[in-house]
Amino acid sequence: MATRKNRIRSAISLVNSKLSVKMAAIVLASSTLISALLGIFRDRWLNTMYLDTYPAGLDAYTAAFTVPDFLFFIITSGALAVTFVPVFNQHLVSGDKKSAWQLSASTLNFLALASFVASIFIMIFADPLVRYVVAPGLNESAMSLAINMMRVIAINPLLFSISTVTASMQQAVGRFIFYAAAPALYNIGIIIGIRCFTNGINIFGFQLFEGGIMGVALGVVLGALLQLFTSIVGLIGLGFDYEFKINWKNKGFRQVLRMLPSRSADQSIDYIMSIINTNLASRMGEQSIRAFQQANSLHSMPVNLVGVAIANAFFPKMSEEIGRKDEKAFRETFCSALRTIICISMPISIITFFSRGYVVNFIKNGGNPKIASVLGAFIVAIMCQSVFHIASRGFYAKQNTKTPLIISIIAFAVQLICAFGLSAAGFGPEGLAYATSISTLSEVGMLLIAQHRDMDGQLFDRKFWSSIIRVSFASGVAGIVSWILTKLLPLLATDNSFFATFPKFCVIAGGSLLVYVILCYILRVEEIRPIVQRFTSYLFRNITEQQGKKKK
């Protein structure tokens, strides 16, 4: 038995070995893509079942997430990722593993305790939170459903907090396999809830649960448990020495606590705005909450696939370079990541705008004009939010959380004014999306200007602007190609299935991206040329090998 356990531990350690920055980016991008595809099928099944037949129920389901997500993100998620990793890395680089594990255990225990209290708070005050804060515009039936769902989902902040701490430890040491797999399992849990729990739960003839849309909430909890299990498995082989106590004397832990408030405040700004958006959307009629949330999720997919994946892959390296006080290496790494994100996210934003009707068809049979309209208003935010993740992490690597906080407060004020103004003007949920695009554009602009000054004016150099101009030109041409292809391959009334829409979308997106890549290669865009060279070398190598076999 002991030998079998050792073999399992060795196999897990081998799979979860340390990855290079490039390989980490590939793994994270791939896992994000898989998770995004699972998310598409999750939303497609959910929308097909309820969007037309029970839109108020879907609005209630969407509203139920706001407060649990809000408390999790301000307590743990973003705050932990950018405060814990740099400090943890400093202890590892200095060779003080004992202190690093004390820091990890103390952070885990502290955040688990805080999130447990938050979960209890949600369960007790779910009624007034939904009724007066989150969704006062829902009808009484939908409001009651949202309250009950919120109480079920209230356990998530605790489960997510534990899994996030364990995942951040793996991220800090460059081990990304289980870290990357966890989000996909979360979506699988929700899919199980949609496909199984909505039909009721029957065990040995006893009806434990009658079913309905409440079953999806149970699937959400199952997904959180699967994510937690995967994250814990990923700790095997790291040598983590867990202690069931909070070591207040640990200097690293105190340092993390000092940085947490400003980063948590930064996170809370984003999620306060999310609650405000849900509140405003609840007053715009049925499907408005769901339409805004679905468009928001669709626009977030490329952001997570590009911005978050690349920023997470580069962040440990930037933190390590700052820990070595190698400013030149940090600047080169940051600039490389920034140009890469812009190079990828700009054409994706433009192509998404022209193909938004096809994209919405993936999550709703026959599409949905309201969701497509809101998604169109989010387009500017795709590139800006992708850039935001590396722009902000440039400061977090230096353990500077105040600058991003101040800029976030200004951007929050911009979004708040725009959201209320556009809502009052009758723009509907599209106005909320326009407000998001405007505020993220201003936030990214301020972050990059501040980063430029912090780098003694060496960010916006000739190399940067030369790359941006060439990428912008190639993206513009790709956008024209995308528009032409949508006219040649229009959506028809019969295109009411995934398999009818997907081939057209592939031709539009693939053709546009091919034109973009070719132009970037001709224009000598540094971030594209290695990809083309690797592909052509692989292609011609296979052709040469085949010709050699024929001669033999």
- How do residues 466-475 score in pLDDT, each as one tens digit? 889 999 999 9
By mean pLDDT, which of 41-45, 238-242, 378-382 is the weakest? 238-242
Measured over all CA atoms, what is the biggest interatomic distance in the chain, rounded to whole angstroms? 79
End-to-end CA distance of the chain: 53
Residue 117's pLDDT band (cuts 50, 70, 90): very high
**Cβ contact 68:153 at 8 Å:** yes
**Cβ contact 10:2 at 8 Å:** no
The pLDDT, as a whole number, for residue 410 is 94
**Cβ contact 396:82 at 8 Å:** yes
From 280, 273, 270, select the one nearest 428 (Cα to Cα). Answer: 280
Cα–Cα dist 116/121, whole Å: 9
- Mean pLDDT, rounded, of the chain: 85
Cα–Cα dist 540/528, whole Å: 18
The pLDDT, as a whole number, for residue 95 is 75
User: C-alpha distances in angstroms, 357 versus 286, 303, 434, 537?
Assistant: 21, 19, 18, 36
For residue 87, pLDDT over 80 is answered with: yes
Rounded average pLDDT over 160-188: 84
Residue 203's pLDDT band (cuts 50, 70, 90): low
Going by the DSSP 8-state scheme, the letter that residue 489 receives in this structure is S
Residue 205's pLDDT band (cuts 50, 70, 90): low
Rounded average pLDDT over 476-494: 91
Cα–Cα dist 359/485, whole Å: 15
Q: Residue 437 CA to chain centroid, in angstroms?
A: 17
- % of the chain surpassing 70 pLDDT: 88
For residue 501, pLDDT over 90 is answered with: no
Cβ-in-10-Å burial (0-12, 13-18, 19+) of 67 comes to buried
The pLDDT, as a whole number, for residue 366 is 80
The pLDDT, as a whole number, for residue 543 is 46
- % of the chain surpassing 90 pLDDT: 40
For residue 40, pLDDT over 60 is answered with: yes
- How do residues 437-477 score in pLDDT, each as one tens digit? 999 999 999 999 998 888 888 888 888 888 899 999 999 99
Cα–Cα dist 432/412, whole Å: 13
- How do residues 263-294 score in pLDDT, each as one tens digit? 677 667 778 888 999 999 999 988 899 999 99
